[in-house]
Amino acid sequence: MSDAAHSEEAHTGPIKSPKQLLLAVFFSFVAPILIIVGLVSYVVSGYKPSGAATGEGMGLYGVTQDARDKEIAARLQRVGSVEVRDANRPLATGDAVFKAQCVTCHGAPGIPGAPHLNDKSAWAPRIGQGYDTLLEHALKGKGAMPAQGGGDFEDVEIGRAVVYLANAGGANFPVPDRPAAAKTSEAAADAPAKQ
């Protein structure tokens, strides 16, 4: 009998009364749920959507329908946009494009590895590749140099900057102009207007 009493004492846990059992159940199941609900309410309480100060026309969360429509339109706006440029504007010079877009890397301090303006030794192997290759590298990027095409300048204007840099480094490339097809279509468009 002493073995039976000894085995009961050895297998008893920390809960010795029904009151302790109820407290253990409460803290095991109810307390985590209350903590989660408290955290959610704390996080959501920081959400205060913009809206009118008055209660007129208020919708969900005290936001007017107009403010809600504006917020939805801002979230659903298109990713890209179309920019219409004047095709007849004069082309920027190579110097202007260089100062606006290329001077950071190819200017006086510049970055290491980029051929700098008037550095004939750095430009010599690149000039040997030819204008078309240099233009392709400028437009599409190469190595650490990011692509320059599709930005604020037309591809022809980027080409003018390439010629400006290469000619300063010892090349003798002609300055590019708009393609002849564009000039003839511009002339055809101007012809009826002159009559």
State pLDDT tens for residues 5-19.
555 556 677 888 889
What is the rounded average pLDDT for all residues in the chain? 78
How close are the terminal C-alpha atoms of the chain, in Å?
A: 126
**Number of Cβ within a 10 Å radius of residue 17:** 8
Give the residue with greater pLDDT, 42 vs 193: 42
The identity of residue 63, as a single letter, is V
Query: How far apart are the C-alpha atoms of 147 and 188, rounded to whole Å?
Result: 34
Asked if residue 37 has pLDDT above 90, the reply is: yes
pLDDT mean over 102-111: 84
CA dihedral 113, 92, 181, 176 (to 10 degrees): -50
The one-character DSSP state at 123 is H
- What is residue 35's predicted lDDT score, i.e. its pLDDT? 92
Domains of the chain: 14-73 (no CATH), 94-178 (1.10.760.10)
Does 173 have pLDDT greater than 70? yes
Contact 140, 182 (CB under 8 A): no
Give me the sign of the Cα torsion angle 126, 128, 131, 132: negative
The pLDDT-based confidence of 195 (bands split at 50, 70, 90) is: very low
Residue 74 has pLDDT above 50, yes or no: yes
- Alpha-carbon span 160 to 93, nearest angstrom: 6
One-letter amino acid at 132 equals D
The model's pLDDT over 75-89, given as tens digits with 9 standing for 90+, comes to: 888 777 777 777 788
pLDDT on residue 186: 53
Q: How far is CA 5 from the centre of its chain?
A: 74
% of the chain beyond a pLDDT of 90: 5
Angle between helices 155-168 and 131-140 (to 10 degrees): 120
CA angle 156, 168, 181 (to 5 degrees): 20
Q: Which residue has the higher pLDDT, 8 or 122?
A: 122
Of 32-46, 48-62, 94-108, the range with the lowest mean pLDDT is 48-62
Give pLDDT, residue 36.
94
- Confidence at residue 33, expressed as pLDDT on a 0 to 100 scale: 92
